[in-house]
Chain A
């Protein structure tokens, strides 16, 4: 039982490049989330998916897109990376008691 997995763990992009962050969970959770974490700011929600086939914007969606491919997988895409998107990205899923389970994170640097 791997929990929540994320790939890649580290990534360096040049401004304007695109990439997709992958996330998968094996806990059969309906809800999945993408956050970014920046120093002194706490986790901020980018997008979430309450169930397979639905996605909604969070607090900071600009510059990102998501796909809920199936119940297990929820990917985050940066179409044209900007230095302001340098951050640590966490994927999470939630159980029925509202506990969130996080993946190990992706450290992204945009130069």
Chain B
């Protein structure tokens, strides 16, 4: 079982739709959580960190459920420019470096 799992998609949604992605992680030592965005043939860029109480940044809302070991990303009022791959990232508290990237969920927003 992968340490960080995401539905690869693709999710095809119309402009203006609300779409949600989930990501599950298997290691209970997971300490920090992030969503990165990666455009086609580009480098990943941080979209938002995920805090325990949940957090919002404009049209984007991230939630963390430690008991069930998953994080989610909700995108409201989807724009064409939201089309990208969304990477779930988990940092473990195991001493030394351990950050794990999910394989990503592809989103296509269509006019």
Chain A residues numbered 93-111 whose CB sits less than 8 Å from any CB in chain B: 97-100, 102-105
User: Which residues of chain A have C-beta atoms less than 8 A from B8's C-beta?
Assistant: 40
| Chain A, interface residues (CB within 8 Å), range | 20 to 34
**From DSSP, what is the main secondary structure of chain B's interface residues?**
strand
User: Which residues of chain B have C-beta atoms less than 8 A from A48's C-beta?
Assistant: 97
User: Which residues of chain B have C-beta atoms less than 8 A from A35's C-beta?
Assistant: 101
Tell me, rounded to whole Å, the shortest Cβ–Cβ distance linking A5 to chain B: 11
A104: contacting residue among B42, B103, B104, CB under 8 A: B42
* Most chain B CB neighbours (cut-off 10 Å) among A42, A50, A105: A42
> Per-residue CB proximity of B44-60 to A under 8 Å, as 1/0?
11100100000000000
Q: Let me know if B32 and A102 touch, CB within 8 A.
A: no
Q: Let me know if B91 and A98 touch, CB within 8 A.
A: yes
The answer to the question of A56 belonging to the interface, with a C-beta cut-off of 8 Å to chain B, is yes
The answer to the question of B75 belonging to the interface, with a C-beta cut-off of 8 Å to chain A, is no
Q: Let me know if A42 and B43 touch, CB within 8 A.
A: no
Tell me, rounded to whole Å, the shortest Cβ–Cβ distance linking A6 to chain B: 9
| CB within 8 Å for A105 and B43 given contacts A48-B97, A98-B91 | yes
If A43-B44, A45-B97, A45-B99 are given as contacts, then 7 extra A-B residue pairs at C-beta distance below 8 Å, sorted by A number, are A40-B103, A42-B87, A42-B103, A99-B46, A100-B99, A102-B44, A105-B42
